[in-house]
Amino acid sequence: MALRDRALTARRYIVSHRLPAAQARPYRHLIRQGLAITVLLVIGLLVADQSVAGVRGTLDALGDAIARAMPVPIIDRAPQPTTEPVAPNAAPILDSIDRVTKNSRLVVAGRLPSFALGGDPRVEVAVNGVLAAAPGVDADGKFQATVTLANGSNTIVVTVVRGDERASALPRTIVFDTLPPTLTITKPADGAMVDGPNVAVEGKTEIGSTITLNGNGTNVTPDGTFGSTISAALGPLTIDVVARDQAGNETKTTLHVTVQQGTQTSTLFVTVTLDRSTARPGATVTGDIFVSDHSVPTPFASVTVNVGLTTVVRSTTDSTGHYQVSFTAPSTEGFVQVTALVTGNNGMSGRGGATLEVTRN
């Protein structure tokens, strides 16, 4: 309709501005052609408008027929739960547990992740596949239970349960061990006369155990062999050797020997003094090594320093018989022996050591 109105308006304009007959005669032919073209355009637009409307009607009818033949199903969705299900990573987070113990009663403690607290969760503690405890969970998600271990290896699994969902922490294997470690002293013999001032003590213990000599830790090789020296004055000497396994069981052997002046003239007196008795793994430790011969400093003696089984430096003492050494504490926790092996210019030799405890505490 808008196109038809515009065409009529154009025609009225032409009529209202018609020239007198005398003046218009030369233009009549052109005007007639223009009117004819205008009429044809109007007719074409009207036909096109009707065609589009027809196509639209046809498409609408086709869509209605398809809808009647293939109705769209209406999905009736049930109300969704407001609480989230326990995710696979919602397993309990356990506190540290010793892998080996000499106590039959073991405390198992931990907490639940904050996102797993909803839905009234409960905790189950199983030992060797049997439910041993079901501790309560406080408002912060913490729990604690005491279970009884069997002799030997025990597998502990802690599971959080909420409705039909279960999530378990990784199994923990705990060894219940009440047997003391083996301990054999190969040197010196009990009651023997030994050369001083450095008394050598050697032996073997259970793999994984630690050794202390008169309260000082010493290095133990992977096969359980150990060896160290004790600085002693002339006369009676008591040597207490204690082996301690990973569970805390101990075996103690006490030796009584007599220290005498060394019959060999090739022994130097060597002392190793550390700036600390304990260090964290990777920490820097400084030590002072002093070498003497019958209380006389030994200058320019060759020194080899070992930390455990690793040689960290080779050097010489200064003019006062001292050598300052710095090294990095081992990455493995436990006792490690710092040993200095010394050889003087005159061929005399000696060794001394100190114990360093490596711990993360």
pLDDT digits (tens, 9 = 90+) for 108-167: 999 999 887 777 889 999 999 999 999 999 989 999 999 999 999 999 999 999 888 889
How many domains in the chain? 3
> Of the ranges 112-126, 239-253, 334-348, which is most confident?
239-253
Host domain of residue 139: 93-176
- Decide: 90 and 160 in contact? Cβ < 8 Å: yes
Q: Is residue 82 part of a domain?
A: no
Say if residue 62's pLDDT is above 60: no
Residue 147 and residue 197 in one domain: no
Residue 191 and residue 166 in one domain: no
CATH code: domain of residue 125? 2.60.40.10
User: What pLDDT was estimated at residue 44?
Assistant: 56
pLDDT in tens, 14-49: 555 555 555 545 555 555 666 666 656 655 555 455
Residue 323 and residue 197 in one domain: yes
Q: Is residue 74 part of a domain?
A: no
Say if residue 66's pLDDT is above 50: no
Q: Is residue 290 part of a domain?
A: yes
Residue 57 and residue 97 in one domain: no
Q: Report pTM.
A: 0.52
Bridge partners (DSSP) listed for residue 272: 289
Q: Is residue 87 part of a domain?
A: no
* Element (DSSP H or E) covering residue 314: strand 310-316
Say if residue 71's pLDDT is above 90: no
Residue 157 and residue 221 in one domain: no
Specify the residue for token string 């907490």. Answer: 111
Q: Strand order in 310-316's β-sheet? A: 278-279, 349-358, 334-343, 302-307, 310-316
User: What pLDDT was estimated at residue 289?
Assistant: 94
Q: Is residue 81 part of a domain?
A: no
Residue 316 and residue 208 in one domain: yes
* 146 three-class SS: strand
User: What pLDDT was estimated at residue 261?
Assistant: 80
Residue 253 and residue 154 in one domain: no
> Pick from 208, 174, 205: which is nearest to 101 by CA?
174
CA distance 333 to 361: 10
Residue 233 and residue 274 in one domain: yes
